[in-house]
Chains A and B, each alone.
Chain A
Amino acid sequence: MVSENSQFAIETVSLTKVFPDWWGRAKVVAVDNLDLQIKHNEVYGLLGPNGSGKTTTIKILLSLLHATKGSAYVLGGSSREAKISSRVGYLPEESYLYKYLTARETLDFYGRIFGLAAKTRKGRIETLLDMVGLAPMANRAVGTYSKGMARRIGLAQALINDPDVLVLDEPTSGMDPIGTRQMKDLILGLAERGKTILLCSHLLADVEDVCDRIGILYGGRMQMEGPVDSLLQKTDETQILASGLSSSALEKIKSIIAAEKADCSITSPMDKLEDFFIRTVSEAQRRKEPTSGAVNSGEISGFLKEEHAGSDDVLEKLVNASVDEVVSAEVEATTTEVAEVAKKANKSVLDELTQSTVADVESESPRPTVPLDDEGVSTSEIKEDVLNKLIGESRDE
């Protein structure tokens, strides 16, 4: 396969990786028949809980692991070929740098490994050091760096060859919020310059902000895949966003919308990626799909139980109620709130929206957001608050 002609920048064909035990018996299926197709100039986010096979997939793509079955192509070939690996940049999940080298020496070493000419190398090193903000301490040994600083050097070495394909494993782990912001901006900037980026992370907010497409792995299988927008969009529901509503305004809106729908923005409500992610994973868990990663059983370890059973009410509750249930109950509660509002709104009955819905929501909500028995608060204010609250809950957080 000639790389230029290949349709996908990264492609796996029924990729399977089984880790054997010491005797060679198959023990853990880390990746199971994975078909991954990442187009050129796409930012693809590979998501999944711990142990879902993200890093294993990346390692196979980079030829650090051999596939048990199936094949993995980067730029149409194996990343073991020098002409392909010279166009790939890789940032591993941790900084695997030589502690005794300074930042500049580190970049120089990797530049030499890439076979860059001295002039190009020197120029790029200075630019990269500036870019990641380490130029002032470039002559300090990497071993003295904090995790975030080491991460920046890791990023710099991944970019030193001006790669076409960038593989980032947990790019923002260990970075401060500013670093995270810069990393995201950088990813977007690189995507603008035509790079293909495969990133895997469980910091969902990062993925949501930068990725064109995401895939959620669980148990080594692709559970869900698609463009971020369409995955998070609920096409059968409509949400009306409004702000600064007074009771009279609401009345007006009711009539205006009924007449011409002028002042209302009607959009599809967005899930937080977080909710979506948790739902996908817990569905997979409910189907009892096998995984080599952590599965939250909801059970608390035996020794904890013995020690505290019966001694403390709160603890007992914790012990008995599965953590999973708590989480999913909360998730469902939030989604029902939104869904209820949305469904009713979809009927475009402002009466219901302003009166009964609020009451409904109030009575159904497990977490009373409005002090109901406060008689000094007018109904319209309550409605307003509730709306804002609901909208806020679904948009921000």
Chain B
Amino acid sequence: MSRVWAVAMNTIAQGLRMKLAVIVVLLLVILLPLMGVVMIGDGTLKGKLQTFVSYGLSLTSLLLCLLTIAVSTHTLTSDIKRRQIYLVITKPVRRFEIVCGKLLGVVLLITFLLGIFTLIIYSLTVSIPRIAKADAAQLEQVNEEFFTSRETLTDPVDEVRIKEQAIEEYRRLKENRQLPDGLSSKRVLFELEAKYRGIATNVQVGASRRWVFENIKGLDPDETIFIQYKFGVAVPRPDDKVYAVWDIGDDRQLKLDPSERKTDIMRAQKIDAIRVVQEFQVPAKVVAEDGYVSVVFHNPVQNQTTVIPQDVKVLYRSGTFTANFIRSVLLILARIIFLAALGVSISTWLSFPVAILICVVVFFAGTVNGFIVDSLDGLSMVAAIFYSVTIKPILWFLPQFDGEFSPAPYIIAGESIGWLFLVRIFAVTVLLKAALLTLFGIFIFHKKEIARITV
């Protein structure tokens, strides 16, 4: 272990002497405070905080990921190229200890930098409200909606049911020979699914839709829960507004006599702009003892059009902003460990330019991984088979840095990053993928002819 440590310390000294490290550190030291001052967002205090944290975390993550790639691919290749490895490897150090030491050194170095810069972001974030001298209403808003960590619950549309309905109707149409001409069966099914999905999500005038949320735990009755949603409409009104009536509570009690009900069912009436995320608060006492709450949307006649409520979520406070911020930093750390393992692993058998190129490609592929997967999922049958045996395993191995794996959206929305989710990410990204990469690197390095000469 002391040998691994010696190699790690040397790797850190080596990494700190790279010009890129100095540039990254300087950039962040200058840019982060500057962003804290310059960024306004949408003019509100919450907007400013959201913009700063979002850009701050993204920039720190991007620059440190690039630095990780550079250091991890440089350290071993430079040792080999400058033959400094000759003096190390001829000593009683096992080759896996060198690989592990290099990896440990890179991870420690970048973790240290990540710690410093996220601490700067955190300090700036919590001091922005004081500096900005916002009014009480804005302060309350950011305290409720930004400086918090809220659990998010959703009740998505039952896609399985929609598929079943679509297939059922397809069979019926086929039996009655009513299938439209000139359309492939796949296309027809697609259209039918869209139709039933529309039925499930669209709310006609005078109709209503119900969402059920369960397992809301650990709330005091005097706290609040948040209902978050966004409206789409079939035909927008001239003022782009929607009248909305919401019933929130335990609707299983409706069968009971009102005197026997344990919790309230509350009604909220609102007028909201369309296509913008809306949010309102409800006292937590509407939640049933077992953590059950239902949310019902009624489309009143004033709207005169079909309303499509989207992304209906229930949020409730489940922790502190600080803890959530730390979890978001850990999310970044997971990708850094992956990249460090990738860099060290492939630099055991590739030269520096090739290794860094591959790492950068993997990194950017990781940031659009969701997009690639989505776009490839819509392939035709033959291509799909080819894809699922070739590209899909590679894509699986690629890290995922976008979508739910990106920390900034959580912090912006004040949404909790679940500990379980974090553990799952670490298990897959670090314990599985990074470990496999490292083992591969160790294997190659073990077999490697260090002073190899090819003529």
**A19-B453, A19-B455, A21-B454 known; A112 vs B2 contact (CB < 8 Å):** yes
Structural contact, A113 and B91, CB atoms closer than 8 A: yes
Chain B residues with CB below 8 A from A368, complex form: none
Contact in complex: B13, A22 (CB < 8 Å): no
**Chain A contacts for B93, CB-based, 8 A:** 82, 113
Structural contact, B453 and A92, CB atoms closer than 8 A? no
Stretch in contact with the other chain, from A60-68, A326-334, A337-345 = A60-68
Question: Of B90, B94, B450, which contacts A88 at CB under 8 A?
Answer: B90
Closest Cβ of chain A to B431, distance in Å, is 28
CB-CB under 8 A from A261, the residues of chain B are none
Asked if A83 is at the interface of the complex by the 8 Å CB criterion, the answer is: yes
Task: Identify the closest chain B residue to A24 (Cβ).
Answer: B454
Query: Per-residue 0/1 for A27-70: is the Cβ within 8 Å of any B Cβ (1 yes, 0 no)?
Result: 11000000000000000000000000000000100111110000
When chains A and B are docked, how far (Å) is the Cα of A269 from the Cα of B14?
A: 56
Q: Tell me the bound Cα distance from A26 to B10 in angstroms.
A: 38
User: Across the interface, which residues of A come within 8 angstroms of B13, CB to CB?
Assistant: 98, 100-101
CB pairs A–B below 8 angstroms (13 shown): A19-B454, A20-B455, A62-B90, A63-B90, A65-B449, A82-B93, A85-B90, A85-B92, A92-B87, A96-B82, A98-B14, A98-B84, A100-B13
Q: Which 10 residue pairs are nearest across A and B when measured between Cβ atoms?
A: A112-B6, A82-B92, A86-B92, A64-B451, A96-B83, A85-B92, A62-B90, A113-B91, A96-B84, A27-B455
How many residues on A have C-beta within 8 angstroms of the other chain's C-beta atoms?
35
* Residue of A whose beta carbon sits closest to that of B5: A112
Neighbour of B92 across the interface among A20, A28, A100, A115, CB < 8 A: A115
Instruction: Using CB atoms and an 8 Å cutoff, list the residues of chain A in contact with chain B.
Output: 19-22, 27-28, 59, 62-66, 79, 82-83, 85-86, 88, 90, 92, 94, 96-98, 100-101, 109-110, 112-115, 154, 157, 161
Between B10, B13, B90, the greatest number of chain A beta carbons within 10 A of the residue's beta carbon is seen for B90
Q: Once the chains bind, are A28 and B82 in contact (CB under 8 Å)?
A: no
Other A-B contacts than A19-B454, A82-B92, A113-B91, 15 sampled, CB-CB below 8 A, are: A19-B453, A22-B454, A65-B449, A65-B451, A82-B93, A85-B92, A92-B83, A97-B84, A97-B87, A98-B14, A113-B3, A113-B88, A113-B92, A115-B2, A115-B92
Is B89 an interface residue when CB atoms closer than 8 A count as contact?
yes
Residue of B nearest to A116 (CB): B2
Chain A interface SS verdict (over half): loop
CA distance A280 to B413 in the complex (A): 83
Residues of chain B lying within 8 A (CB to CB) of residue A88: 90
Do A85 and B91 touch across chains, with their CB atoms under 8 A apart? Answer: yes
The answer to whether B14 touches A100, judged by C-beta atoms less than 8 angstroms apart, is yes
Encoded as 1 (CB less than 8 Å from any A CB) or 0, chain B from 276 to 316 comes to: 00000000000000000000000000000000000000000
Closest to A157 in B: B87
Interface check B262, CB cutoff 8 A: no
Q: Complex: how many Å from CA A62 to CA B86?
A: 9
List A contacts of B7 (CB < 8 A): 113
Chain A hits for B2, CB < 8 A: 112, 115
Chain B interface size range: 20 to 34
Q: Please tell me if the beta carbons of A109 and B6 are within 8 angstroms of each other in the complex.
A: yes
Give chain B nearest CB distance to A237 CB in angstroms. Answer: 44
Shortest CB distance B418–A (Å)? 41
Contact yes or no, A114 B89, CB < 8 A: no
Complex contact B90–A64 (CB within 8 A):
yes
Do B92 and A83 touch across chains, with their CB atoms under 8 A apart? yes
Most chain B CB inside 10 Å of its own CB: which residue of A28, A63, A90, A98: A98
Contact between B87 and A96, CB atoms less than 8 A apart: yes
Closest Cβ of chain B to A2, distance in Å, is 17
Which residues of B lie under 8 Å from residue A64 when comparing CB positions? 86, 89-90, 449-451
B409-455 interface with A by 8 A CB criterion: 449-455
With the chains together, A63 CA to B88 CA distance in Å? 12
Check if A79 sits within 8 Å of B90, measured CB to CB: yes
Partner of A65, one of B14, B83, B452: B452
A65 to B450, CA, bound (A): 6
Chain B residue contacts of A154, Cβ below 8 A? 87
Contacts of A21 in B (CB 8 A): 454-455
* Chain B residues positioned under 8 Å from A97 (CB to CB): 84, 87
Contact status of A115 and B3, CB under 8 A, knowing A19-B454, A20-B454, A86-B92: yes
Contacts of A114 in B (CB 8 A): 91-92
Chain B residues 1 to 26 lying within 8 A of chain A, measured CB to CB, are 2-3, 5-7, 9-10, 13-14, 17
Could you tell me the distance between the alpha carbons of A107 and B172 in the complex, rounded to whole angstroms? 83
Q: Which residues of B contact A113 (CB under 8 A)?
A: 3, 6-7, 88, 91-93
Taken together as a complex, chains A and B put the C-alpha atoms of A94 and B86 apart, in Å, by: 11
Beyond A20-B454, A27-B455, A100-B17, whether A110 also contacts B87 by CB under 8 A is yes
In the bound complex, how far is the Cα of B451 from the Cα of A207, in angstroms?
26
- How many angstroms between the C-alpha atoms of A397 and B239 in the bound complex? 107
**Nearest B-chain residue to A154, judged by Cβ:** B87
Chain A residues whose CB sits within 8 angstroms of the CB of B86 once the complex forms: 62, 64, 90, 92, 96
* Identity of the chain B residue whose Cβ is nearest the Cβ of A20 in the assembled complex: B454
Q: Please determine whether A110 and B454 come into contact, CB atoms closer than 8 angstroms.
A: no
CA distance A88 to B90 in the complex (A): 8
Contact B455 A90 (CB under 8 A): no
Tell whether, in the assembled complex, residue A82 and residue B94 are in contact, meaning their CB atoms are under 8 Å apart.
yes
Within 8 A of A (CB), among B203-219: none
